[in-house]
């Protein structure tokens, strides 16, 4: 019975991650992938465990079926997280700090979209509750 419960728990956790899409933490790898797959790079600068607008963006848009479907075919996703209580390696903290400085992040969430060559083509600071369908429509316009 314990094995079955563990198996079911692992299965649901895997499905939940798959439903949210694959989020990378290494921008260089993301840019390589974007170039190879002819996709855009979406950087989400977030305070995932303390920032209310970040949590709202995550729950309203980034985990929605509309966004996940669009992202699969059009985006390479990069999470640049600045949590207060979630553990991170020293290397990841340093890399995130460098990206924050490079892109001059002044508030959370900040979503930056780069073309496959790394050129910034969009920046949105904050989240005002835009429905997932409308958020995806804005991203789709960037693909054209």
Third-level CATH fold of 25-143: Glutaredoxin (3.40.30)
- Higher per-residue pLDDT: 21 or 133: 133
* Residue 21 pLDDT grade (very low, low, confident, very high; cuts 50, 70, 90): confident
Task: Show the tokens assigned to 8.
Answer: 């079911």
Residue 132 · residue 64 · CB < 8 Å: yes
β-bridge partners, 111: 44, 124
The pLDDT tens digits for 98-121 are: 999 999 999 999 999 999 899 999
- The model's pTM is 0.85
> For 64-98, b where at least 16 C-beta lie within 10 A, e where not — what string?
beebbebbeebbbbbbbbbbeeeeeeeeeeebbee
Contact present, 121 and 113 (Cβ < 8 Å)? yes
> Tens of pLDDT along 29-58?
999 999 999 999 999 999 999 999 999 999
Beta pairing class for 75-81 and 110-114: unpaired
- Number of H helices and E strands in the chain, helices first, is 6, 5
The DSSP symbol for 58 reads I
Enumerate the domain spans of the chain. Answer: 25-143
Given this model, what pLDDT does residue 2 score? 44
């Amino acid at each position: 019975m314990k094995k079955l419960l563990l198996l079911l728990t692992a299965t649901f956790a895997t499905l939940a991650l798959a439903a949210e899409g694959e989020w990378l933490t290494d921008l260089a790898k993301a840019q390589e992938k974007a170039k190879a797959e002819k996709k855009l790079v979406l950087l989400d600068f977030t305070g995932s465990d303390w920032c209310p607008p970040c949590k709202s963006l995550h729950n309203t848009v980034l985990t929605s079926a509309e966004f996940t479907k669009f992202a699969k075919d059009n985006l390479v996703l990069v999470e640049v997280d600045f949590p207060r209580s979630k553990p991170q390696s020293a290397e990841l903290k340093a890399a995130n700090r460098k990206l924050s400085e490079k892109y001059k992040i002044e508030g959370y969430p900040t979503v930056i979209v780069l073309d496959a060559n790394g050129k910034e083509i969009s920046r949105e600071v904050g989240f005002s509750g835009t429905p997932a369908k409308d958020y995806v429509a804005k991203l789709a316009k960037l693909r054209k």
